[in-house]
Structure 1
Amino acid sequence: MHRRTVFIVDDDASVRDALSLLLSLRGYPTAVFGRAEDFLRVLESHWRGVVVADIRMPGLSGLDLQRALAEHPSRLPVIIITGHGDIDAARQAFKLSAVDFLEKPFDDELLVAAIERALAHLDDEPRPPAAGTLSQREREVMALVVDGLDNRSVGERLGISPRTVEVHKSRLMAKLGARSFVDLVRLVQKRR
């Protein structure tokens, strides 16, 4: 697969065809799938690109697909599209690191911009850090932060102030080359 492939996963054939045509005309290679299960069955770890997935499909949903991809070595970024968007679904999608959440019908330019953002991150993915670069305290802070605890909760668990947690978090992100919380989570997942 080409590095800029857009994998379209939607149970509606007309949506798949329209997106494939639109993106092909813009120069993106595309591959289409009617079900998330079909895509996951053939997905290989060396594939690169971005997944555009409908949130509501028979069988595995777009969110289920996102969860599966988070565990897959390919680490393909995901853009969720939906005809029935709601705040809870959007929150879940972003919590799973969605690049964007677009409601149908959406502006073609918004989709293309989201695809470009996703592909740009592929070019500058952070490398896994060397094992010995973090102090013991930084490793403790990192583990708790990645588990979803806020600075105050981390501080309470470790017996330090929230400000000290913020300092440790800032240092560990700098040492690891993580530019965002999402980068940090990816790095931790690669180390596990």
Structure 2
Amino acid sequence: MMNAVPVARVDVERNRRILLDAAAGALAHDPDATLGDVARRAGLARATLYRHFSSRESLLDALRDDAVECAKEVVAGAQVGDGTALEALRRVVAGIVSLGARFRPLLLEGAAQDPEFLRRREEAFMPVAVIVQRGQRAGEVKAEISVRWVVAALMALLAAAVRMDASLSEEEVVELVFGTLSLGIQGTHSTQN
């Protein structure tokens, strides 16, 4: 009987994760997907969905929170102190691009107009500022460019890539975003082509 509570909690967390993943996929495929569509895609009953999310807005709020947390994890896991600054930036780009489907519904639903989402997204990208500063000290990144500008440009390029249609492969999107960014910020001591 003592195991009943932890097992139930694990099931609740598992179902929540399944629902968030299903919602990201369903809304990326069809921005007008209903909560019923999300429940079907998750393979769970509508009642289970409603126990977690009482409305479409509560589901979108949870997706925003989840996307920011995923972005934080990706940026933190990009080994921002390893290699050159440009190599670290490329790892950040690759990690965020891999989350593209998770961000697409949010951008289509207007998250880019939500000040709280924007604040939290900027906070998630704070380690990128450290990368840029390191790159400026090493001469890899132009010193005359504002660190804040580089971070904002990166976020804008990533948002544009997420909004694009899916005709490009993930690797092509990484190269497009990173190539565009790096061409504009490379300093005289850069080793990147």
Tell me: higher relative CO, structure 1 or 2? Use CA pairs within 8 A at least 6 residues apart: 2
TM-score (norm 2): 0.28
**Structure having the larger proportion of residues in helix:** 2
